[in-house]
Structure 1
Amino acid sequence: MNTDNYQQGLFGSVMSYITVSLATIIAITLISIFVSFWVTELADKDAQAINLSGSMRMQTYRIGLALERGEFEAATQNIEELHKTWNHSIFAQQHSLLKDPEEEHSKLTQYFAIAYFNWLSNTKPALQATANRAPTNTPNFNLLLENQVLLTDTLVNQFQKDAERKIVNLRTFQLAALFITVLVGSLIFYLLKNRVEKPLSQLTETAERISEGDFNQRVDVEGSDELSLLAETFNRMSKSIADSYNVLEERVEERTRALQQNNIALEFLITTARNILESHDGKFSFSDTISDLSDILGDHKLELCLFTEQGQRPYLQLVAHNRTDNPCEKTDCNNCRNIHQKSKPLLLEGQQRFSISMGERHFGIIDLHINGSNKLPDWQQNLIQSVANQFAVALSMGEQKDRDHRFAMLSERTVIARELHDSLAQALSYLQIQVTRLQKSKDRGSYELQQPIIDELREGLSSAYRQLRELLTTFRLKMDEGGLKTALESTVEQLRARSDMAIVLDYQLVNLPLDASEEIHLLQIVREAGQNAIHHSRGQNVLIRLEQKPDKSVELIVTDDGVGIPNTPEKLNHYGLAIMNERSRNLGGEIDITSRPTGGTQVSFVFTPSTTQTESLTSAD
């Protein structure tokens, strides 16, 4: 159906049905009203005509009665009145018809003509002659009057029949109009029922079902009107919605699959990253990760090969799920080492190689052997490359940890060498000098000088032994997972066990992170300052306070209530002070040792942590 077919024909439109039907009903109604009005108007004149014709009988009797009584003037007057009645305007139509004698007249006109001409020709002249007392040939005027009355009665009866005929015609017309109105109304009802109500009901029901999600509904409306056009348009719309819905469902399913795939890849990558970060000892399980990745990929074969920087063969080769075949043995390892120069995975026949590299450092490859001729989906390729990048991060972190560990070992060895040089080496040099003096006194036979030398040797050995124990205690200090606070608490407990002094720790660095090097240096400074306090202050109390200042620097204060510090503290414990000075310089600060006005010694140290320095540089940028 199209609009051209719809526009053809008067009755090709619902509005045409309704318009023609309403016009027909209005026309019938108007015609009925007009005809009824016209007939009633004629009926009103017929009643007047009957009344006038009936009055003419009475006037005729009056003329006869006046003549019998000899009242000739009254008779003449009555004759004139009767003549005027015969020429009344109510009978104008009859008089106009009588002017054309050749026309075929109705019975009413014929009876009017007989009665009227009888009045003019016979009755009136005779009655006038009688009233004028003139001689007349009429034998008896009473017979003329009776004849005129009979003709008048006939005319009155004809008027009555003509009026009744008009009433009957009016009733017949009204019945016909009623029949036509009922017929037209039934036709209109039928058309509205079948061409309007039924299609609208179908459209409404179909619309409700479509609103419930059933887009396969169709409306079957025959014809070429607006509703059939609307039904076909509705069907096309429903089909379009159904097609769009199907396409949308396919897209939703496709997006859902993509989201599921991305979710699988994201969960796997998050798990891998978490395992890398949680492997503090560097023992990350590449085998488990490769096996889990192989489960995600399906039947494809995965192999991991890791190389050293100069190696030509992999030092670690893992095949997913311990498969017996070893694809790597069939290829040249130099090809594996050179693929990191490509920005995309290397595509070979039946396999793909993904580089495990970071910057210019190449760690190895992930070799994928595709099962069959199907191309690996993009999301799986991206997943493998992301895993390769995470492997590169894990290996790079491992190498960085190893470098940091080596650097820390070298730094500590340097500190140990310096501390040994400042303590035991000098003590042993002093003892060597005393042994030389003792040998010379023996050679000279100066035995009286040997005892003081032996006493100095004994004191020097005791001092060296004490220094050795302190150095061993320093070297045995360790930082466990509890952090600086736990290590300081352990150090305080050791100091308490070696002295009767009351040692209090006030730790207030809960909101500031420190790196491992900063924690170790602070721990050593606190230990040396605490040992100096318990060995040389001869006080009763020691306070160790570590807090964060408003400028985000860290301040360490160790105070005691002892005898105070001498003018030359280096002679008292020169190697301990050297250790503290060396540690403070590594942290970018300087130790300040002063005597308190109230008695005792205060060791203070201020430095800025590396995290705060980084934040300051970022803010400045």
Structure 2
Amino acid sequence: MSERKKQHFINSVMSYITLSLATIIGITLISIFISFWVTELADKDAQAINLSGSMRMQTYYIGLVLERENVEAAQQAIEKLQNTWNSPLFAQQHALLQEPKQQHNLLTRHFGIAYTNWLHHTKPILMAMAKGQHKRSEIEFLLENQVLLTDALVTQFQNDAERKIVNLRTFQLLVLLITVSVGSLVFYLLKNRIERPLSQLTETAEKIGAGDFSQRVDVGGTDELTLLANTFNRMSESIANSYSKLEERVDERTRALKQHNIVLDFLFQTARNILESPNGQFDFQTTVENLSKVLGDHKLELCLFTERGEKPYLQLVSHNKAFAHCEQTNCSECRNQDSSMQALLLSRKTGFPITIGERHFGIIDLQLNNEQELPEWQHALVQSVANQFAIALSMSEQKDKENRFVMLSERTVIARELHDSLAQALSYLQIQVTRLQKSHDKQKYELQQPIIDELREGLSSAYRQLRELLTTFRLKMDEGGLQAALENTVAQLRERSNISIQLDYKLKNVPLAASEEIHLLQIVREAGQNAIHHSKGRNVLIELIQTSDNKVQLAVEDDGIGIPQTPEKFNHYGLAIMNERSRNLGGAIEVQPRSGGGTRISFTFMPSITRQPIA
């Protein structure tokens, strides 16, 4: 592993690029330094050329002054020219003259010749001429020779400066060539070792992103991009394998979801059919057939028992075939929860009891095709259907119990109302008949006519009460609910009287239980009948509203003659009926005089739905 890392580092593309860039930077710095050094050397060449050129004029000036025989000026000119030869610009040349002659360059040799001629030949003669110690006829030749040597020196200074410039240009061209070569190498590395592999990686990544996991990257070499390409290929292969496995899992989950959807839809339809079955008449046969299809055409048998029965009162079989497990003539073993047959069915997971609580309704027996093992989802499905069957049967039994209870309650109400109305009226008539018989026995015929009148009035009253009771017993609550029933009752009351009866119903946002609606309807009917028969008014208002504290208030008002001081004796059986119904709703009837004349019967109670605790 360490050898691989070392090889990877040596052949690294970044190492090549770093080395190339370092080379370019180094060459640039060296070229800058050498150019600076050359320019530094040539910095005083122009001044040296200018200074050496001025020595020619100084030489001519000396000759001019000597011709004018100005000795002092000539000496000063000679001294000035000497100082010029000793200028610091020529210090390097003076120093080089001290070296051996074989080490002198061309400039040093010309400088040495011109300086030596001036110092040892021209200057002494000029000094002697200035002092008058030498003939002036040789001055022209002497100065001409010195000027020629000085011109050669100036030319050599110029050549030396030009040579430095040529060398600088040559060096700069060489540096440029090296820089271009190194840059070309870097460009080649970037193009072939970075750009091309990255382009392949990018193109392959796009194809893999589009779902083509068969793509591979072919990058040769031993650098980082090669390692990256190999890793990328392994990643692509791993993704392809994972994607293939994922597709298999998705297909498997999809099949499972479809299967679960079928199961849930079947359970939902079964529950819906149970709830929508009229009077608890649930179609078990269709459900058993559909369940068999969902399970894969397994054979099913449904046996239902009474609470103490030993034989099924209902036995349904799918595929129209009976089983040996629970035949029509021998089904008691399936009925007994502790039987060995049921234990065998449950142990084989082919028997599913239909129970709720301690109540056992029957069993669903399942026969597997080819004796295969029942899957867990099928076992859960059949058990859920068995539980729904138990709920359906329990709801049917509960509905039967409720119907019997309602029937007994209504019979009690009928008996009470018959006792409070017809029974008392008949008792009254029986008393009048007894009086009539005594008057006949005592031959007091003058007393018979009033008794006969009372009998006639009592019979009329009893007949009227009988009709009212029959009308009351025929009351029903149709799909329109309480409002429709009240409107129907008001219409019937209007047909029996010339009194204007108005209904103000404002309970559209308050749900009422069925028993509450029945009690309210009966109270309104009794109060309306009392207003028609006894108020002697012209208008009746029936008002049903919701109060601010979520209570329901019923009020029946008339503009008649009012109520007696002892209202309990006024139509006593009607008030008794209303009081009893109001107590069943948790309230009490109030009979009060109406402001402006008439009677007001009111009643307030809290609906059961608003008494439920809020979670």
TM-score, reference length from structure 2: 0.71
Which residue of the partner structure matches residue 343 of structure 1? none
Instruction: For 1:450 and 1:516, locate their aligned partners in 2 and report how far apart those are by CA, in whole Å.
Output: 53
- Equivalent position amino acid for 1:376 in 2: P
- Equivalent position amino acid for 2:49 in 1: A
CA contact (8 A) 1:46 1:160 kept: no
Instruction: For 1:393 and 1:554, locate their aligned partners in 2 and report how far apart those are by CA, in whole Å.
Output: 38
Instruction: For 2:119 and 2:460, locate their aligned partners in 1 and report how far apart those are by CA, in whole Å.
Output: 188
Q: Deviations over 1:379-400 (max 9, x none)?
A: x665555554444333332222
CA contact (8 A) 1:6 1:226 kept: yes
CA contact (8 A) 2:588 2:603 kept: yes
- Equivalent position amino acid for 1:543 in 2: V
Alignment match of 1:508 (pick from 493, 496, 505): 505
Instruction: Tell which deviates more after alignment, 280-289 or 576-585.
Output: 576-585
Alignment match of 1:604 (pick from 581, 584, 601): 601
User: Aligned ranges for residues 384-463 of structure 1 at < 5 Å?
Assistant: 385-420=383-418, 459=456
The structural deviation recorded for 1:568 is 9.7
The structural deviation recorded for 1:485 is 3.5
User: Aligned ranges for residues 91-106 of structure 1 at < 5 Å?
Assistant: 91-101=90-100, 103-106=102-105
The structural deviation recorded for 1:56 is 8.6
Which residue of the partner structure matches residue 618 of structure 1? 613
CA 1:604–1:265: 2 relative to 1, 3 Å? farther
% identical aligned pairs: 54
Alignment match of 1:24 (pick from 26, 34, 43): 26
CA 1:51–1:304: 2 relative to 1, 3 Å? farther
Instruction: For 1:87 and 1:569, locate their aligned partners in 2 and report how far apart those are by CA, in whole Å.
Output: 157
- Equivalent position amino acid for 1:31 in 2: F
Which residue of the partner structure matches residue 186 of structure 1? 184
CA contact (8 A) 1:501 1:539 kept: no
The structural deviation recorded for 1:35 is 4.4
CA contact (8 A) 2:528 2:556 kept: no
- Equivalent position amino acid for 2:542 in 1: R
CA 1:585–1:328: 2 relative to 1, 3 Å? farther
Which residue of the partner structure matches residue 483 of structure 1? 481
Instruction: For 2:85 and 2:102, locate their aligned partners in 1 and report how far apart those are by CA, in whole Å.
Output: 21
Alignment match of 2:358 (pick from 360, 363, 374): 360
The structural deviation recorded for 1:154 is 5.8
CA contact (8 A) 2:542 2:557 kept: yes
Q: Deviations over 1:460-480 (max 9, x none)?
A: 777766665554444433333
SS at match of 1:13: helix
Instruction: For 1:396 and 1:361, locate their aligned partners in 2 and report how far apart those are by CA, in whole Å.
Output: 9
Instruction: For 1:280 and 1:251, locate their aligned partners in 2 and report how far apart those are by CA, in whole Å.
Output: 45
Structure 2 gap segments, 5+ residues each = 339-344
- Equivalent position amino acid for 2:482 in 1: L
- Equivalent position amino acid for 2:554 in 1: E
CA 1:308–1:133: 2 relative to 1, 3 Å? same
Q: Deviations over 1:442-487 (max 9, x none)?
A: 9x99898999799699847777666655544444333333333433
Q: Deviations over 1:307-343 (max 9, x none)?
A: 32223444334455x554547637976567649xxxx
SS at match of 1:51: helix
CA 1:91–1:524: 2 relative to 1, 3 Å? closer
Instruction: For 1:132 and 1:567, locate their aligned partners in 2 and report how far apart those are by CA, in whole Å.
Output: 179
Which residue of the partner structure matches residue 329 of structure 1? 326
The structural deviation recorded for 1:190 is 3.8
The structural deviation recorded for 1:123 is 6.7
SS at match of 2:536: coil
Which residue of the partner structure matches residue 282 of structure 1? 280
CA 1:284–1:86: 2 relative to 1, 3 Å? same
The structural deviation recorded for 1:37 is 0.4
- Equivalent position amino acid for 2:560 in 1: D
The structural deviation recorded for 1:20 is 0.5
User: Aligned ranges for residues 106-185 of structure 1 at < 5 Å?
Assistant: 106-110=105-109, 112-113=111-112, 158-159=156-157, 161-185=159-183
The structural deviation recorded for 1:405 is 0.9
SS at match of 2:32: helix
The structural deviation recorded for 1:407 is 1.2
The structural deviation recorded for 1:516 is 3.2
CA 1:154–1:449: 2 relative to 1, 3 Å? closer
- Equivalent position amino acid for 1:311 in 2: G
CA contact (8 A) 1:94 1:112 kept: yes
Q: Does 1:33 align with 2:30?
A: no
Q: Aligned residues, how many? A: 600
CA contact (8 A) 1:75 1:131 kept: yes
- Equivalent position amino acid for 1:487 in 2: A
CA contact (8 A) 1:501 1:542 kept: no
TM-score, reference length from structure 1: 0.70
Structure 1 gap segments, 5+ residues each = 340-345
CA contact (8 A) 1:541 1:560 kept: yes
CA contact (8 A) 1:54 1:156 kept: no
Alignment match of 1:51 (pick from 53, 60, 70): 53
Instruction: For 2:212 and 2:115, locate their aligned partners in 1 and report how far apart those are by CA, in whole Å.
Output: 89
Q: Does 1:539 align with 2:536?
A: yes
CA contact (8 A) 2:560 2:597 kept: yes
Which residue of the partner structure matches residue 557 of structure 1? 556
CA 1:352–1:103: 2 relative to 1, 3 Å? farther
- Equivalent position amino acid for 2:498 in 1: M
RMSD of aligned alpha carbons: 5.8
CA contact (8 A) 2:425 2:462 kept: yes
Which residue of the partner structure matches residue 308 of structure 2? 310
- Equivalent position amino acid for 2:104 in 1: H
Instruction: For 2:114 and 2:52, locate their aligned partners in 1 and report how far apart those are by CA, in whole Å.
Output: 14
Instruction: For 1:368 and 1:14, locate their aligned partners in 2 and report how far apart those are by CA, in whole Å.
Output: 79
Instruction: For 2:325 and 2:366, locate their aligned partners in 1 and report how far apart those are by CA, in whole Å.
Output: 10
CA 1:290–1:5: 2 relative to 1, 3 Å? farther
